[in-house]
Amino acid sequence: MKKRSLVLVTVDCLRADHVGFLGYSRPVTPALDALAENSIVFSNAIVAGAPTYFSFPAIMASRYPLALGRDVLGIAPHELTLATSLRGAGYTTAAFLAGNPYLSTRSGYDQGFATFRDFLESSYASELPLGLQAAKPLSNLNRRIAAESRRTDLTAATYDELYFWYCQWRSRRENLSMDELRRYPAADVLVNHAHSWLSSLGGEPFFLWLHLMDPHHPYYPPSEALSSLGLSRTTPLRARFLNSFWNRFDIGARRLQRYRDEILSLYDAGIYWADRQISRLVQVLQQLQRWDETVFVATADHGEEFLEHGNRYHSPTSLPEQLIHVPLLLRSPELSGRHLSGGPFSLIHLAPTLLDAVGVEAPDRFQGRSYWREISAGNLPSEPAIVECVGACDNPFQPADRMRPRLMAIRDAVYKLVVNFNGDFMGTTDSFFDLKNDPGEHSPLPDGVMPDERARLLQVARAHLQATQHNRNIELRLLAHLREIQQSSAK
Amino acid sequence: MRTQYRTFTLPEDLCAAAEKRLTGQFENLEALLSFLLQEIAKDEAGKLDLAEEQIIEQRLRDLGYI
């Protein structure tokens, strides 16, 4: 029997409640919605970590992000992954990733791919930590004024306000298009590369991974996407203003709220563009007569926050549903479409499930297990999902930033416990939610309420931490450290 | 305090291969081996994991579940 091929499309920052097939009312995902009719749709797919650098070890290597030690970033050298497994089984492999610096050769994501393009060598600017993005070269005079202004809160706020509007005035003189403002290659660029690569193949089985960045901030969707959603009045200049304002950290949520709807429209237009290009990719597979043999998966590495809990973007300062609940659809030729509303389904199980779906054995080292049999039968057993990251780690390339306390969520179908280990390890601040009655996570249950459920989730957390320590792979850990030394000495 | 040393015997071809790969990153093979052993011994990340497990255990104890 001919081996199945596999296409994995990951969309950065795509949250579950912004796709039509999970109930979003704005028509931003018509292609995925149509695909969902013939796919297995997971209503409760939960990432194993957030953001990108804490999510992808699970997606690609079925490994919890802190399992090798929180000081290890990315995939360790020689770590077995979805790609290495498929390549070892004779698959031709390729990855086209839209310029996310955390998904690069530096972090080991090229392992197992015969063709690997991360688009970081191109003219697209690197993803910088938010603080750096906001920074502009200041003149010496301006630097002195800025320093002086910090003497009081009032003068600091006045300076920040004036400087913001000065920058807006300056940017008016530059007439840049959306394409010039965007930091990443848009999805059409990635699909063009994928098209060429797919066309070059013979009949061999293949694994293709596309990572799309269109919904990622700064939000500069193609003008065509805005027009298609009836948003053509949003000019590049307006989008630039909105992104600059949204990126301000010197003002409160009340002022930011004023532009939230417009920012959401830009975000949605990015999703729309990714969706449209996914549709093109499916057409390419159909034209090349590879569609009927291909398992096709679309998901996300994490979601995005728009002030629901006071935060923007996807910094791991908390783990709300907006950040950890992602869309997941899996289309396999022999399976008819259905929604699996049980769960949750942790993405730690995705790689072994996909390998099972194409008939390739999963490595023993994987921490997740295959759910293929259950999924094929239309069942999804309820098992708590664990999400972990290093709290407030916004720049993981700085080793010190990775050595902060863990932030962890344990979520089952009804309850969710977020354990926030504080800095001096003298105690914890837990948030315990009943998602059935409080899906927006607005009212944490007081201490003493539902103690059995709280303790059950704490036991899951405890078992996870024990397993992390007992099962740590020292060899991979050392290899990752050696790689980091090699990289820093090569600079 | 005087540091005491141990002597090990390693295959020559393995040492030569490692030295060839280490140019510019470690002064010599002793430096590499010391680094690897220090990494294993210190494991700051492991200490944080253990401290966090103890926090969880304390929470369970407070709730009366252990």
Tens-digit pLDDT profile for residues A322-375: 999 999 999 999 999 999 998 899 999 999 999 999 999 999 999 999 999 999
Closest CA to A430 of B59, B58, B63: B59
| Residues of chain B contacting residue A72, judged by C-beta atoms under 8 Å apart | 45
At residue A412, the pLDDT reads: 96
Residue A114 near residue A200, CB atoms below 8 Å = no
A389: β partners:
A407
Angle formed at CA A199 by CA A107 and CA A39, multiple of 5 degrees: 70
Residue B7 lies in a domain: no
Q: How far apart are CA A367 and CA A363, in angstroms?
A: 9
Mean pLDDT of A467-477: 94
Taking an 8 Å cut-off on Cβ atoms, the answer to whether B59 and A70 are in contact is no
At residue A342, the pLDDT reads: 84
Label residue A169 by pLDDT band (50, 70, 90): confident
Q: What is the rounded (10 degree) CA torsion for A9, A13, A19, A24? A: 180
Residue A30 near residue A275, CB atoms below 8 Å = yes
| Residues of chain B contacting residue A486, judged by C-beta atoms under 8 Å apart | 25
Residue B44 lies in a domain: yes
Mean pLDDT of A294-299: 98
Query: b/e map of A354-373 (b: 16 or more CB within 10 Å)?
Result: bbbbbebebbeebbbebbbe
Please give the residue range of the domain that contains residue B50: 12-63
At residue A435, the pLDDT reads: 97
Residue A181 near residue A220, CB atoms below 8 Å = yes
Taking an 8 Å cut-off on Cβ atoms, the answer to whether A419 and B44 are in contact is no
Q: The tokens 């253990």 sit on which residue?
A: B50
At residue A305, the pLDDT reads: 98
Q: Could you tell me the domains of chain A? A: 5-490 (3.40.720.10)
A387: β partners:
A409
Residue-wise pLDDT tens digits, A475-487: 999 999 889 888 8
At residue A132, the pLDDT reads: 38
Q: How far apart are CA B61 and CA A453, in angstroms?
A: 15
In this complex, the residue of B24, B39, B49 whose CB is nearest that of residue A468 is B49
Residue B49 lies in a domain: yes
Q: The tokens 């996807």 sit on which residue?
A: A314
Taking an 8 Å cut-off on Cβ atoms, the answer to whether A403 and B48 are in contact is yes
Residue B2 lies in a domain: no
Residue B3 lies in a domain: no
A401's tokens:
């930033």
pLDDT at A213 over 50: yes
Residue B39 lies in a domain: yes
Residue B56 lies in a domain: yes
Residue B4 lies in a domain: no
Give the number of other Cβ atoms within 10 Å of residue A457's Cβ. Answer: 23
| Residues of chain A contacting residue B55, judged by C-beta atoms under 8 Å apart | 421, 425, 427-428
Total tally of structural domains belonging to chain B: 1
Residue-wise pLDDT tens digits, A261-294: 999 999 999 999 999 999 999 999 999 999 999 9
